Amino acid sequence: MSERQPFAPWTDPGADPLIRFDRVTKRFGDFTAVEAVDLAIYQGEFFSLLGASGCGKTTLLRMLAGFETPSEGRIFIDGVDVSAVPPYERPVNMMFQSYALFPHMSVEQNVAFGLRQDGMPKARIKDKVRDVLDLVRMTGFAGRRPHQLSGGQRQRVALARCLAKEPKVLLLDEPLAALDRKLREQTQLELVGIQDRVGITFVMVTHDQGEAMTMSSRIGVMNTGHIRQIGTPVDIYEYPTSRFVADFIGAANMFDGTVTGGGDGRLTVACPELGHDIAVDYSGALAAGAPVTVMVRPEKMAVSRERPVEGMNWTEGGIADMAYLGDVSVYHVRLESGHKIEVLRTNLRHSGDRPPDWDDRVFVSWHPANALVLTR
Amino acid sequence: MKRNGLLLYTALALAYAFLYLPIVLMVIYSFNASRLVTVWGGFSTKWYGELLHDDKVLDAAWLSLKVAVTNATLSTILGTLAAVVLVRFRRFPGRTLFGGMVAAPLVMPEIITGLAMLLLFVAMEETLGWPAGRSMTTIVIAHVTFSLSFVTVVVQSRLSQMDVSLEEAAMDLGARPLKVFLAITLPIISPALLAGWLLAFTLSIDDVVISAFVSGPGATPLPIVIYSKVRLGVSPEINALATIVVALVGVAIAVAGRMTLRRERNG
């Protein structure tokens, strides 16, 4: 066993991307679905395009598949400009949200369809079909028709049909949306496992951030036709670069304020909503008076009945809402200013110290290192 | 509840009677031994025998069958093409006009279509020398012009229900557009093609009005022959003929229904 190398080709400036979008814009009449998108995806990545419906993520995927042509800009796959190449000549395959299995063909015929178009000899088609059905654990179902399969089984067949073609890129349009919750979680890890084994680059479109976080090497967060941020799941959760991304991924407490001073990698920010100044770690330089937003994730805050120790940022208020979820409890604390803060409290002990309860005056505290400055 | 059930069944029986009693009566009288249509003279199959020796009727039936099959096939091909254009090609100049023109024969009075066809054929014969007189060709052309609208409507609805991603998936897997149409689209919409074919067949085989304009002495389809015979008085022979037609149509519909049902079940 060799030691596992961290997989991060995007950090290597000499690496050539497998897929490159160069200022790609797509308009439908007056509506601009995708605007001036630049994007580089590397060999072996599991890249997710994440966004709400109508953000342009599916249009981007369909341009990669060849079903839409860019209004402006160019798309390269493996260094070749494919902007004008029809879908049937592109080295990519797409798994559709509806799976799009051909209802009049058996599982075996569905998987063989793509290979027959390539003119592969019959004997090899047979072997190949068996191999990919094996890979997705659908060997016993070769003779079935799609309508005789469950949702999960159809999804596997659709995946096998794409994998059989050994594409350079596999596109997945909301691959798990049609599955029920339990199956979805199971399939997420299985898909990643399969991708690891076949080594094909996957590009997935999803609106489910949990799904994107679990499966992806990197995520592109999209909104109104633009990519707002590209990064690893950790990057976009811990270090969002904009209010939009901070708000879209997970829960976030945001406080608007102005810089009052700073130095040594730390800023002092006056936040009227909190009642007093707070300290935030910040590596850049911002002049006093600059408007900023300070973002703190709920799990990086503590809620307690005791006054926090020196060096922590803190504020106080009353409990507006409280929910016990078992592993954690969610507190909504209302400040004097009316601003509400969401805090997660991990329920570490069976019993012992009494957790904050209704009617308690509570303190919310967090370390300056756990807050993030978003410039506006 | 029970009385309600009785009421429902009575209503159902009345409705069936309203729809089918005339046909049942006709079938019964086709086995009437008496020459008088309204007087029962005992059971007999002699009218069927006589029918077999009536060359005029047999010729007309054969012609009608040929016309109906040719018409249904041509209409299905043309109507399907029109439907594909209307459903899959969302934007092209004149799309609205094209859609309207294809559907127009559905509401056009038959007598006007017939008259217009006759004028066209006469004008063409005078200027181009074709078609020579009223023949099977002219009947087929006239029938196709209105049948194809019905086929288009039937195929159009099926096609617009079809998941477009099936075609995209096929293209994505390397099939060129023509291959996609033949290997994916056609098999999936085939129940609609069959339904359209049968509809065109039925429209053609019982058409009187348009056929009256475009048929000629050498080529008289069955409905015209029946119509002209009836004008001289209803004969039991006609009842026998009609019974055969009803039986044929009934069998065809039952077979088509079964086929459609099986296909639908297979998804």
Residues A122-181 have pLDDT tens digits of 999 999 999 999 999 999 999 999 999 999 999 999 999 999 999 999 999 999 988 888
Q: What residues in B contact A65, CB-CB < 8 Å?
A: 168, 172
Q: Is A214 a member of any domain? A: yes
pLDDT in tens, A59-114: 999 999 999 999 999 999 999 999 999 999 999 999 999 999 999 999 999 999 99
Q: Is the domain of A135 the same as that of A268?
A: no
Q: Is the domain of A312 the same as that of A234?
A: no
Q: Is the domain of A225 the same as that of A301?
A: no
Asked whether residue B122 carries a pLDDT value surpassing 90, the answer given is: yes
Asked whether residue B130 carries a pLDDT value surpassing 50, the answer given is: yes
Whether residue A168 lies within 8 A of chain B, CB to CB, comes out as no
| d(CA A40, nearest CA chain B) in Å | 22
Q: Is the domain of A85 the same as that of A179?
A: yes
Interface test with A, best of B91, B166, B172, B263 (most A CBs within 10 A): B172
Mean pLDDT of chain A, nearest integer: 92
Q: Inspect the interface and report whether the beta carbons of B168 and A165 lie closer than 8 Å.
A: no
pLDDT of residue A352: 62
| Averaged pLDDT for residues B179-200 | 92
Q: Is the domain of A318 the same as that of A354?
A: yes
Q: Is the domain of A213 the same as that of A334?
A: no
Whether residue B173 lies within 8 A of chain A, CB to CB, comes out as yes
Asked whether residue B217 carries a pLDDT value surpassing 90, the answer given is: no
| d(CA B260, nearest CA chain A) in Å | 14
pLDDT band at residue B92 using 50, 70 and 90 as cut-offs = confident
Q: Inspect the interface and report whether the beta carbons of B170 and A102 lie closer than 8 Å.
A: yes
* Structural tokens at position A26: 């797509």
Contacts of A336 (CB under 8 A, 6+ apart): A275, A316, A317
pLDDT in tens, A172-219: 999 998 888 888 888 898 999 999 999 999 999 999 999 999 999 999
**pTM greater than the 0.90 cutoff:** no
pLDDT band at residue A351 using 50, 70 and 90 as cut-offs = low
Q: Is B46 a member of any domain? A: no
Asked whether residue B215 carries a pLDDT value surpassing 80, the answer given is: yes
As a residue count, chain A comes to 376
Q: Which of A252-266, B172-186, B197-211, B251-265 has the highest mean pLDDT?
A: B172-186
Q: Is the domain of A132 the same as that of A20?
A: yes
pLDDT of residue A1: 42
Interface test with B, best of A85, A92, A102 (most B CBs within 10 A): A102
pLDDT band at residue A242 using 50, 70 and 90 as cut-offs = very high
Q: Inspect the interface and report whether the beta carbons of A113 and B172 lie closer than 8 Å.
A: no
Asked whether residue A376 carries a pLDDT value surpassing 80, the answer given is: no
Is residue B167 within 8 Å of B46, Cβ to Cβ? no
Q: Is the domain of A56 the same as that of A188?
A: yes
Q: What residues in A contact B169, CB-CB < 8 Å?
A: 94, 96, 100, 102, 161
Asked whether residue B267 carries a pLDDT value surpassing 60, the answer given is: no
Nearest CA in chain B to A160: B173
Whether residue A57 lies within 8 A of chain B, CB to CB, comes out as no
For the beta carbon of residue A317, count every other beta carbon within 10 angstroms: 23
Domain span at B143: 54-265
Asked whether residue A235 carries a pLDDT value surpassing 60, the answer given is: yes
Asked whether residue A3 carries a pLDDT value surpassing 70, the answer given is: no
Nearest CA in chain B to A111: B173
Nearest CA in chain A to B189: A104
Closest among A197, A201, A155 to A176, alpha carbons compared: A155
Whether residue B187 lies within 8 A of chain A, CB to CB, comes out as yes
Q: What are phi and psi of A73, to 5 degrees?
A: 85, 175
Q: What residues in A contact B175, CB-CB < 8 Å?
A: 88, 113, 117
How many CB contacts within 8 angstroms connect chain A with chain B?
A: 67
Q: Which of A1-10, B174-183, B187-196, B249-258 has the highest mean pLDDT?
A: B174-183
d(CA B50, CA B64): 20
Q: What's the total number of domains in chain B?
A: 1
Contacts of B162 (CB under 8 A, 6+ apart): B185, B188, B189
pLDDT of residue A58: 95
Selecting from B165, B168, B187 the residue whose C-beta is nearest the C-beta of A104 gives B187
Selecting from A92, A100, A145 the residue whose C-beta is nearest the C-beta of B165 gives A100
pLDDT band at residue B265 using 50, 70 and 90 as cut-offs = low
Q: What's the total number of domains in chain A?
A: 2
Among left, alpha and beta (phi > 0; psi -120 to 50; other), residue A116 is: alpha
pLDDT of residue A61: 96
Final residue belonging to a domain, choices A193, A215, A247: A247
Is residue A204 within 8 Å of A49, Cβ to Cβ? yes
Place of tokens 């308690």: A360
Domain span at A224: 9-247
